[in-house]
Structure 1
Amino acid sequence: MRALVAAAIGLAAALAVVFALAAMGSPSGSTSPKPLLTTVPGHP
C-alpha cells in the first residue's frame, strides 16, 4: 500500500513539474542568420 501511495505522489510531482514548465512557455529566441562554418577533413 505504501508503494502505491509513493507512486501516486511521484506521479503527481512529475505532472506538476510538466505543467509548470508548460505554463512558462518556450523561451523567446531566434536562430542565427549566419550559417555554421564547418570544415571537411581532406581525403588522404
Structure 2
Amino acid sequence: MRALAAAAIGLAAALPLVFTISAVGSPPGETSPKPLLTTVPGPKQ
C-alpha cells in the first residue's frame, strides 16, 4: 500500500511538470544539416 501511495505522489508531482514543459513548447531554432556520427569512424580504405 505504501508503494501505491508513493507512486501516486510521484505521478501527481511529475504531471504538472510535464504539462508545463509541453505548454511552453520547444525553443526556436533550426537543426544542424550535418548528421551526427553514431559510430567510431574506421580506417580509411
RMSD of aligned C-alpha atoms? 1.9
Question: What is the TM-score normalised by the length of structure 2?
Answer: 0.56
Question: What is the TM-score normalised by the length of structure 1?
Answer: 0.57
**Unpaired stretches in structure 2, ≥5 consecutive residues:** 35-42
Return structure 1 stretches of 4+ with deviation > 4 angstroms. none
**Unpaired stretches in structure 1, ≥5 consecutive residues:** none
**Which has the higher Rg, Structure 1 or Structure 2?**
1
Deviations 1:4-27 (A, max 9, x none): 211101111121221111011111
* Structure 2 counterparts to residues 2-41 of structure 1, below 5 A: 2-32=2-32, 35-36=33-34, 41=43
Aligned residue-pair number: 37
